[in-house]
Amino acid sequence: MVTLKDIANEAGVSIATVSRILNEDTTFNVSPKIREKIMHTANHLGYVKRRSENKSILIISHLSSEKEYFDGFYKNLMKELKKDIARYNLTLKDVIRANKQLTIKDFRNIKKAGAILIIGHFTESTLEWLYHLNSKIVLVSNEITPPHFNRVQFNQYDTMFNFVDLLHKEGFKHVVYVAGRKQAWDLRTKKTEETIDKRRQAFIDWHKLHNLEPHVILEGWYLKDGIIATQKLLHAETLPDVILAGNDALAEAILIKLKEQQIKVPDDIQVIGFNNLEESKYYDPPLSTFNQTISDMSSNAIALAYSQIKNPTMNAIHILIETKYIHRRSATIEFPEEIKDY
C-alpha cells in the first residue's frame, strides 16, 4: 500500500505537504508546480486515498421546535433518536426545521452528512431534491414514501381499517373520526400542501366499501382542537357511539368536554386515542388507545442509517411496525391481541 511517506520521498517534499495537498486544504499556500508534482507522483505510485467513515447524522424535521414540544409523539421520538444515535457511536450533526430558511451551512450539512433522517411530512418533490443531494436517507413516519427510499413506518392503515370493521361487527354503527389535516412541507419554498393521512384514508375506505357515509371532523391535532371538535359533536342530532381520536391529546380534550356535559364514558360514548402517551393511562377515565412503540421506530431508523453509512449502495429497505391496542376504561370494545391495562 502506497503511503504519504512514499509520495513525499518520491516528490522530494515533506509528509505534511503531501497530506495537505491530497486532503485539498484550501488554506495551504503552495506553488502550482509543487501541487502538480505531488498529484502526479501519487497517481504514478497508485495511491488510493483512504476515506474516514462519516458517522454524522443530520435530522430534518417537519415540526418547529415549539410545535414539537407540544406534540408528545414527535417529542418522544426525537428523544429516542438522540439516544440511539449515541448508542451506535454516531454524531448528531444538526437538526434542520421545516419552518426555518435554509442556510449555506444547511446545504453543506445535507451534502456531507453520513446519513439523513427525515422526520414527518414532506412533499415528494422535496424528498427527491434531497435524494439528489445525498441519497443516504431514511424516512421516519412519513406518509409519502417513494420506493427507492429507506423508510420506517407504523402500519396505521390496516390498524384503522380492521378496527372500524370490528366496531361495526360489534354493533357500533355511529363511529366518528376526529383529527387534523396532515400538511407536507416543501423545504425550499416553505409552503405546505395537504398530504395523505393513512388512518383517515382507511376510515373513509372502509365506509365507502360498505356504502356508508364516513363521519370525519377535521379541526387540528392539539388539545384546543379536540374541545372545538367535541362541541360540534354535541350539537349534532345524534351522539356517536364511538369517537376515534387521531391522537391522545385530542382524546384527552374529548374526555374533558364530555365530562363537563355529564356524558358518561364509556357508558354513553366510547373514546379511543392513538399513540399511547405515557400520561394517557392517567386520564379520567384511563384512555383506551393504540400503542405505537416509538423505541422500535427509533432503533430501526438508526439501524438503517448506520447500514447506509457502512454500505451507501444498499437496496432500499421498508420496515412496517405493527401497532397494539391498549384496552383501558374509556372503551368496552375488545380487540384481538390487545393489551389490557386496567
**pLDDT tens by residue, 161-189:** 999 999 999 999 999 999 999 999 999 99
Architecture of the domain whose range is 156-291+324-340:
3-Layer(aba) Sandwich (3.40)
Mean pLDDT within 16-38: 84
Mean pLDDT within 59-67: 94
**pLDDT tens by residue, 144-156:** 889 999 999 999 9
Sheet holding 215-218, edge to edge: 215-218, 175-179, 242-245, 270-272
**pLDDT tens by residue, 84-111:** 999 988 999 999 999 999 999 999 999 9
CA-based nearest residue to 275, from 41, 34, 75, 81: 75
SS3 309: helix
Residue 246 in grid coordinates: 387521531
Least confident segment among 15-29, 92-106, 128-142, 256-270: 15-29
pLDDT at 51: 60
**Residue 5 pLDDT > 90, yes or no?**
no
Comparison of pLDDT for 196 and 324, the residue scoring more: 324
DSSP 141: S
pLDDT at 50: 64
What's the CA gap between 100 and 64, in Å, rounded? 8
pLDDT at 20: 81
Least confident segment among 17-31, 155-169, 267-281: 17-31
**Residue 63 pLDDT > 90, yes or no?**
yes
pLDDT at 52: 63
Q: Please name every residue paired with 326 in a beta bridge, in sequence order, or none if there are none.
A: 289, 339
**pLDDT tens by residue, 235-277:** 988 999 999 999 999 999 999 999 999 999 999 999 999 999 9
Q: Tell me what the pLDDT averaged over the chain comes to.
A: 92
Asked if the domains 56-154+294-321 and 156-291+324-340 are classified in one and the same CATH topology, the answer is yes
pLDDT at 4: 83
DSSP 184-209: EE-TTT--EEE---HHHHHHHHHHHH
Tell me which of 3.30.565.10, 3.40.50.2300, 2.30.30.280, 3.40.50.510 is the CATH number of domain 56-154+294-321: 3.40.50.2300
pLDDT at 3: 83
pLDDT at 253: 97
**Residue 19 pLDDT > 90, yes or no?**
no
pLDDT band at residue 141 using 50, 70 and 90 as cut-offs = very high
Mean pLDDT within 186-193: 94
What's the CA gap between 244 and 227, in Å, rounded? 14
pLDDT band at residue 82 using 50, 70 and 90 as cut-offs = very high
**Residue 325 pLDDT > 90, yes or no?**
yes
What's the CA gap between 109 and 237, in Å, rounded? 55
Q: Percent of the chain scored above 90 by pLDDT?
A: 79
pLDDT at 310: 86
Q: Domain extents for the chain?
A: 4-45, 56-154+294-321, 156-291+324-340
